Structure 1
Amino acid sequence: MPTFLELQDDAALLSFEHQQHLSARVGEHSWKVNLAEHRFEFVGDTPLVCETVDLLGSAAPGPRTWLWSWANPFGYSSEVLGLALRAKEFGERHGIPELATAEVPFDALPGSPTEPAHVASLMVEATKAATGRWSGYQGPTGGGTRAGFLVGHPDLLLPEPDLAGTTRLLQQGVVELRLYDHRRAFHSYAVNRGLGVESAGSTLVLKGTGFEIAVEFTADNLMSRMSATRG
């Protein structure tokens, strides 16, 4: 059974790739949401109206808690609660209290974060791994509170993986992301991205169409070396 911390590794690299893709698609932007109309919109030079939006919850600085949308007394419609409820069911099934508890204190999360944006990021990432939905967004809603969403649109789907893009993504992820277990993060990325993956001792081999990437890890599961070949 995965822990909340392991879900962070499971989501990290594929979520990072989706966020890069989303940023490239919408560019400089603002955003608007109307949950009563199930509408989430990126506004800017390249606007995008998402086909789906799910409200996951909100991180508030006053009570220093994350409140899941399904527990919010505002009473949102079932159309925008689906993925939050799926995360709740996942948490109940696997014994992950961060996903199954209505209101989660900041101090109950890894590292006891203090910033609502950090808390929202942790909860959105865990939900991505629990639900297999990867395009997310979190933003301010006033008073320092941050809300987390998962959104969907065909433009946000990733292209087929290739050697250059996958290698760059993996290298950048190791440098820029906080990965607790590199080997787990790489293996989860390969599985969720549809790549083949083989394990041989301290090495994982990720296989795509026309390429392979061999990644070596230390005894502590930290990446130590990566090499790529075509064909």
Structure 2
Amino acid sequence: MSEPVPLTRLLDDAGLLSLEHRLHVEELLGSHRWQADMEEGRLEFIGAEQTFVCTKFHLLGTADSESWLWAWANPWGFPKSLIAVARMVREFGFRYGVAELCAAEMPVALGRAKPEPHQVAELLADAAKVISGHWSSYCGVTDGTCVAFLVEHPAFELPPPSASVLARVLAHGINALPLIDHRRATQSYLSRRGLVTAFLEDQRLLEFNGSGVAGTIEFDDDGCVANLDVGVVMDRIELPTATKAQSANSL
């Protein structure tokens, strides 16, 4: 077995990018209903204005008020292609000692914590995203059971990063997500969005830039985000030669 990887590290790596994908998909779908045909390999999101049909999707597992069950352990049985990613996650769990990823079934309640089934499903889906590289997920509820999928559709792909979206995701995610290592989580997110990142001042500052965006994140003594600054980079605009000459003559 390789060096163990704690589940919290995967969740830190996934949290912010997963949040941006989730917000993007929610905005696209709006009010909708969903239906899936596991045998035919068809997952539909039916809204008032448009319908999205996914013919590439991956069943991860199901959660109810009692437990989470990985798709590869479901006694109903599913096509191998449908649960291939879930099996990939299991293999990762065995290789890196992540018990939550290779235990067939787990109780939803953890000590005194009693999360909702969809919260458990979303966290395990986030871990699966880092492992599989599929970043769009959907957790739908049917008959009191939350079903977790990773979904593929051209419309679900993220647009290029913008200052407003980065600021929104960073500010909301840092406060709302159960992140353990803020430095790792923010650097992972920004680099996965294609930005160049660099820690400065003994990792007290994280600078980033790219795609017309630049900014800094400041961390406090406990490694938590203390300040966030995201802005737009304005490229230097060169005047046409004729305009330059006219400007010079007017001086």
Q: TM-score, with normalisation over the residues of structure 2?
A: 0.84
- Aligned counterpart, 2:230: 228
Where does 1:57-206 land on structure 2 (aligned, <5 Å)? 57-61=61-65, 64-107=66-109, 112-142=113-143, 144-200=144-200, 201=202, 202-206=204-208
Residue 12 (str. 1) matches residue 6 (str. 2): no
- Tell me if structure 2 keeps the 8 A contact 1:4–1:96: yes
Report the Cα offset of residue 147 of structure 1. 1.1
Amino acid at match of 1:180: I
Aligned length: 227
Helix, strand or coil at the partner of 1:216? strand
Residue 43 (str. 1) matches residue 46 (str. 2): yes
Report the Cα offset of residue 27 of structure 1. 1.4
Report the Cα offset of residue 108 of structure 1. 5.2
Larger radius of gyration: 2
Mapped partners of 2:145, 2:223: distance in 1: 36
Report the Cα offset of residue 82 of structure 1. 1.6
Mapped partners of 2:168, 2:115: distance in 1: 31
Structure 1 residues 1-10 or 47-56, which shifts more? 1-10
Mapped partners of 2:93, 2:215: distance in 1: 33
Mapped partners of 1:81, 1:56: distance in 2: 7
Helix, strand or coil at the partner of 2:76? coil
Question: What percent identity do the matched residue pairs reach?
Answer: 38
Q: How much is the aligned-residue C-alpha RMSD, in angstroms?
A: 1.8
| Superposed CA offset, 1:76-127 (max 9, x none) | 0011112111111211121101011111222459x74342122112211111
- Tell me if structure 2 keeps the 8 A contact 1:113–1:119: no
Structure 2 residues not aligned, in runs of 5+: 235-251
Helix, strand or coil at the partner of 1:175? helix
- Tell me if structure 2 keeps the 8 A contact 1:162–1:208: no
Report the Cα offset of residue 178 of structure 1. 2.9
Structure 1 residues not aligned, in runs of 5+: none
Q: TM-score, with normalisation over the residues of structure 1?
A: 0.91
Where does 1:213-224 land on structure 2 (aligned, <5 Å)? 213-224=215-226
Structure 1 residues 81-90 or 28-37, which shifts more? 81-90
| Superposed CA offset, 1:145-180 (max 9, x none) | 211111000100001112222122212222333322
Mapped partners of 1:83, 1:213: distance in 2: 35
Report the Cα offset of residue 32 of structure 1. 0.5
- Aligned counterpart, 2:37: 34
Mapped partners of 1:92, 1:219: distance in 2: 35
Helix, strand or coil at the partner of 2:68? strand
